Amino acid sequence: MNSKPTAQDIEKAHDLVSAYINYTPVYTSESINKIAGAEIYFKCENFQKVGAFKARGGMNAILSLSDEDRQKGVATHSSGNHAQAVALAAKVEGIPAHIVMPSNSAKVKMDAVRGYGANLIECEPTLQAREDTLQEVVEKTGATMIHPYNDYYIIAGQATAAKELIEGVNDPLDYILTPVGGGGLLSGTSLSAHYWSPETKVIGCEPEGADDAYRSFNAKTLIPMVNPNTIADGLRTSVGEKPFQIILEHVSDILLTNDEEITAAMKMVWERMKIIIEPSAAVPLAVVLRNKEKFEGKKVGIIISGGNVDLGALPF
């Protein structure tokens, strides 16, 4: 795919991945609606395979490889959910996966990657070491590098979550909100809304301590993040070029929140909805609660991006 995914690309992605991923439920909470003064529909990707929406993109990228590329396997570097997504997709396809992970990655995530039968290569916890190690692996094995977000197949895969959300709600949503880290989920969501619910505005939600999407969106040019500092560990990356161009075209706004608000929103969902969501997944609800007047009386879709948290290190 050499340009932004079309409606047909996203439909094809959905057909490809459907057999391997969960069609996740859309949940509502009367008490949160009451607090927010809005009608919120939570698309629960915390119940997705590997505990995050990343399974969609990883699956689509690997199922879309040519037979020749497939045989040589896939490779990526990631400390988190994307590592598991690629490992799972490679296992399903029965092809080799080489996953470079920084040595300080959560043990539970490393175990999960190994559990899928992937070849896990530990490296120093720096971006340079991650990229160098991945480069070596790719040269040695001929494996295809699967980028976590700067890839149109990944974007088309992530777009399927919003497609399902739109299908699962009766009347059109006024807004769909997603967190924004590398931009794969936000850009894919904005495409699905554009194709299947054009009256719905898509808003990216970002922590103040990792506000590169906010600054880039307003400057209309990519400004990478330096020294991100936020509890939302999935959102510390900088937006990629391919998702950014889609975001500029199809996203209506990027709104900010802070760690205190993110923690409160996360706790609210745990207590009121009895579901486990990770800090990054709480960012959109935190944005709704910070901007009550904007969302008052509106139908708001929120993509709960994932549920992978270290229960031994909770912020409350």
Q: What are phi and psi of 303, to 5 degrees?
A: -90, 110
From residue 68 to residue 97, the character string flagging contacts with a second copy as x (rule: CB under 8 A) and all else as - is: ------------------------------
Q: Report if residue 51 touches a second copy, rule: CB under 8 A.
A: yes
Q: Report if residue 224 touches a second copy, rule: CB under 8 A.
A: no
Cα–Cα dist 203/288, whole Å: 11
Q: Report if residue 284 touches a second copy, rule: CB under 8 A.
A: no
Distances (CA, A) of 104 to 40, 119, 122, 136, 145: 36, 17, 9, 20, 22
Kindly state the greatest CA–CA separation across the chain. Answer: 57
Asked whether 255 and 291 are in contact (CB, 8 A), the reply is: yes
What DSSP string describes 5-32?
A: PPHHHHHHHHHHHTTTS----EE--HHH
Nearer to a second copy, 47 or 152 (CB): 47
From residue 16 to residue 45, the character string flagging contacts with a second copy as x (rule: CB under 8 A) and all else as - is: ---------x--------------------
- Part in contact with a second copy (CB under 8 A); list of ranges 81-89, 169-177, 231-239, 265-273: 265-273
Nearer to a second copy, 137 or 232 (CB): 232
79-48-310-268 Cα dihedral, nearest 10 degrees: 130
Q: What is the smallest separation between the CB atom of 21 and a second copy, expressed in angstroms? A: 13
Instruction: Identify the residue whose tokens are 């800090």.
Output: 279
Q: Report if residue 234 touches a second copy, rule: CB under 8 A.
A: no
- Part in contact with a second copy (CB under 8 A); list of ranges 168-176, 254-262, 270-278, 286-294: 270-278
Residues 92-151 that bind a second copy (CB under 8 A): 108
CA-closest candidate to residue 239, choices 219, 259, 257: 219
Nearer to a second copy, 48 or 158 (CB): 48
Q: Which of 276, 283, 285, 300 lies at the binding interface for a second copy (CB under 8 A)?
A: 276
